[in-house]
Chains A and B, each alone.
Chain A
């Protein structure tokens, strides 16, 4: 069965722009989580959605937002991009929410802000 698909794989944006990243979970998985990975801060939790509802949110500014659609696909949006937003953004899906089961991760979207 297909894995977690993240698009695009690479993205270059300019400071001040906004960006939308997409994640298609494994078929049947209704929980989608997003993470930011940087060399300095490591892996940090952004938010988790389950059945179109945000269940948990990390400590990121309001410029970071997300949503989940009825088919469980999820998008995250970052507005007014800053240089520090350059990172690998990872999406993970699970059949159940709140990390009680293992997550399957996508290959990530590498965002570079110039």
Chain B
């Protein structure tokens, strides 16, 4: 069963806009990770946020974590066509993935 659930399942935006996707999880965590997957290829690690952190930045990415609500959000600012991909959150020692958000950035 999936530990995390991403919301929305699909998101379509214009280039230059911001994209926000959310992740909810079920059990307590040590950290939460976000990954990107391009069209059936391998996953790329984007960012890891630990349970004692509330916000983390990496380039155009901003991740927040609310352990009281068991939720996290990933914000991609000034999106580009190359950001088109599926985005997954993952938690736990066995790195359990959510269902993913399919992001499409249109020119």
Q: Report yes or no: A102 in contact with B48, Cβ–Cβ below 8 A.
A: yes
Q: Report yes or no: A43 in contact with B94, Cβ–Cβ below 8 A.
A: no
> Which residues of A1-55 have CB atoms within 8 Å of chain B's CB atoms?
4, 33, 35, 42-45, 48
> Which residues of A54-76 have CB atoms within 8 Å of chain B's CB atoms?
56, 58
Choice from A35, A45, A58, A105 contacting B44 with Cβ under 8 Å: A105
Interface residues of A, count at CB 8 A? 25
A-binding segment of B13-21, B68-76, B77-85, B96-104:
B96-104
Q: Report yes or no: B42 in contact with A106, Cβ–Cβ below 8 A.
A: yes
What is the minimal beta-carbon distance from A94 to any residue of chain B, in angstroms?
9
Q: Which chain B residues border A102 with CB–CB below 8 Å?
A: 33, 45, 48
CB-nearest residue of chain B to A91: B42
Give the B-binding residues of A (Cβ under 8 A): 4, 33, 35, 42-45, 48, 56, 58, 88, 90, 92, 98-108, 110
